[in-house]
Amino acid sequence: MRAWTIGRIAGIRIRVDWTWSIIFILITVSLAVGYYPIVFPGLSTAVYWGLGVISSLLLFASVLGHELAHSLVASRQGLPVDSITLFVFGGVSQIEEEPRTAGDEFRMAVVGPATSLVLGGIFYGAFLAIRPASGAAAAVAQYMGIINIALGAFNLLPGFPLDGGRVLRAILWGASGDLRRSTRIASLVGQGFAFLLIFVGIALLFSGNFIAGIWLAFIGWFLNNAAVASYRELIVRQTLEGVQVRRLMTTDIDRIPEGLTIEQVIDQHILSGRQHAYPVTRDGELVGLICLHDIRQVPREGRTTTTVAQAMTPYERLRTIGPTDDLAKAISELGRGGYEQLPVIDAPHHLAGLLRRRDVIGYLHTQSDTGKQDLTGGPPNGERH
């Protein structure tokens, strides 16, 4: 499991990716060994390590506050927010829909850096107020003031998909009314900014500053990939919008009864290779879905006695889609849970078909191969610059 949930704020799941532990350790060590002993000499080693841990946790809270600001504004605008995940490069809000207008995009983007700058001002003000009385507390307040101001300023740089890049896209979108072209321009600017970071990182490597060089180059690489992926995701979503699920769903599917044992399912169905997931029915009604993942969870010695009803995902826990929903919604549902298929339901417990991930991907490849869309990250055929 890559990330775990640590709680909820305003109904939004807060998750921590395992990679966050890397940055937590690096920051704690660098502060305890390199920063605080130099900036605030005279304190004990134990105090320096304590300051390092406290500062890392406060940085965690500051990044969370930055992302929470994005998420709360998105929720206020009617956009569903699934979670906030903190990872090695900071945090990301899992907002399930794109902003509907340029104004919505601008407000969502700018509130994050604004929150960081406000937090930076509060921390630095606290540092100035308590500096004469408490060296340790003042040290933490000063560091948090500097780091939050730096975080806000960095995110305002026009490198899509950083917040500043999204602000740039919102301005271009508002001026032109063309979301796709605005995203393309913002993405190219983001890639340029990413390559600049990579170049500076390489220069630092050759100058002997290995840690900073590697870190900057790595951030640049990450931002470049994110800029390309963000534009590609927009093309995919626009390609799938308005195309109904019924167009790609599979109706010729085998259904199995809930009383079969897992061994019977393997022998009679799975080994044929025709399907990887089977709707489970009772008196013609859908009661669940069983797939290869469910079967793998059953120990080999228990497959002769464990029934489908015991191993399947029950209807109440299934993510489903309607036949008239569009494929953009469907691909979002597939991606959110990492599913390979979704049951298509046209009435409660009535299965109309299965929408498989491979069918959606095949449709996208067809669109690309026929020249209707370029899904590689470049402009579509016929688009002028």
Q: Which residues are catalytic?
A: 67
Token pair belonging to 25: 């350790």
Cα(278)–Cα(271) distance, rounded to whole angstroms?
13
Please say whether the dihedral angle defined by the alpha carbons of residues 167, 171, 177 and 178, taken in this order, is positive or negative.
Answer: negative
Place of tokens 């100035």: 128
Tokens 């929720």 correspond to 75
Q: What strands lie across the sheet with 12-17, from one edge to the other?
A: 3-9, 12-17, 81-87, 90-95
In 124-156, which positions are buried (b, 16+ CB within 10 angstroms) versus exposed (e)? bebbeebeeeeebebbbbbbbbebbbebbebbb
Q: Where do we find the tokens 């740089």?
A: 157
Exposure of 258 by Cβ count < 10 A (0-12 exposed, 13-18 middle, 19+ buried)? middle
E-strand stretches of the chain = 3-9, 12-17, 81-87, 90-95, 256-257, 277-282, 285-291, 313-314, 341-347, 350-356
Report the C-alpha gap between 203 and 233 in whole angstroms: 32
Helix (H, G, I), strand (E, B) or coil at 134: coil
Which residue do the tokens 């899904």 mark? Answer: 375
In the block, which residue shows the tokens 């105090």? 47
How many other C-beta atoms are found inside a 10 Å radius of the C-beta of residue 247?
A: 12
Residues 6+ apart with CB under 8 A from 326: 240, 241, 242, 243, 244, 245
Residues 6+ apart with CB under 8 A from 64: 14, 84, 86, 91
Residues 155 and 93: their CA atoms lie apart, in Å, by 14
